[in-house]
């Protein structure tokens, strides 16, 4: 398989995890409505328990399907690739929440655009997959590709989700 294609297939759990809460999320916020002494919410209403769980499960499921049909060169076997899909998805959701946590500490209002939420989910997902993937995955050119693609796709998909009526704001 083409190398670029393999990098794209690798990203499937991360992107599925990150985008599905827009559709599947809602309900009880992850921080249970609590604020920190700075007066701002821990994560805010944009991070919900259901979104976190649904994103993790959806990304793991998508990555699981991929591991059944194609073994990526970054993993020694399908089971490791499947396990990695879970950590990529969980990492994406954790990184997404961390991005919101930092945003709140900087007093950026819930739902407002900020460069951090564009890349935090990618960075934490990649950190979480370190124990499972071969070092070749983390070649500087690959990381650059992930970064640039995400910086392009994130605003684009948010814009499309807004046009499709899934998101109230276009970012
Ligand atoms: N979402 C969710 N649970 C999560 C993550 C996202 O329910 N763990 C849903 C919320 O409805 C959220 C939408 O997906 O509004 C878009 O997510 P995102 O853009 O990451 O959050 P924002 O609303 O922009 O909030 P923040 O300012 O904290 O980034
Ligand atoms: Mg946002």
Q: What is the DSSP string of the chain?
A: --HHHHHHHHHHHHHHHHHHHHHH--SSBTTTT-B-TTSSBSS-TT-BHHHHHHHHHHHHHHHHHHHHH---TTSSSHHHHHHHHHHHHHHHHHHHHHHHHHHHHTTPPTT---THHHHHHHHHHHHHHTTTS-GGGG-HHHHHHHHHHHHHHHHHHHHHHHHTTS-SS--
Q: Which of 24, 47, 93 to mutate to test the pocket of ligand 1 (most atoms within 8 A of CB)?
A: 47
Residue ID of nearest Cα to ligand 1 atom 19:
111
pTM of the model: 0.94
Q: What is the pLDDT of residues 136-167, one digit of tens each?
A: 999 999 999 999 999 999 888 888 888 888 88
Alpha carbon of 64 to ligand 1 centroid (Å): 24
Q: What is the pLDDT of residues 96-124, one digit of tens each?
A: 999 999 999 989 876 666 677 789 999 99
Q: Which of 16, 19, 21 to mutate to test the pocket of ligand 1 (most atoms within 8 A of CB)?
A: 21
pLDDT score for 113:
67
């Amino acid at each position: 398989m083409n190398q670029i294609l393999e990098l794209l297939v690798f990203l499937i759990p991360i992107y599925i995890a990150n985008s599905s809460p827009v559709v599947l999320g809602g309900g009880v916020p992850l921080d249970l409505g609590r604020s920190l002494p700075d007066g701002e919410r821990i994560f805010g209403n944009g991070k919900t328990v259901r979104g976190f769980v649904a994103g993790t499960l959806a990304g793991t499921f998508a990555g699981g399907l991929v591991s059944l049909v194609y073994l990526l060169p970054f993993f020694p076997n399908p089971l490791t690739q499947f396990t990695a899909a879970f950590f990529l998805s969980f990492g994406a959701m954790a990184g997404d929440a961390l991005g919101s946590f930092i945003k709140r500490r900087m007093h950026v209002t819930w739902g407002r655009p900020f460069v951090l939420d564009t890349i935090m989910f990618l960075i934490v997902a990649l950190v979480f997959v370190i124990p499972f993937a071969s070092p070749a995955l983390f070649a500087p050119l690959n990381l650059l590709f992930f970064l640039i693609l995400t910086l392009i796709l994130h605003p684009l998909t948010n814009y499309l989700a807004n046009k499709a009526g899934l998101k109230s704001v276009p970012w």
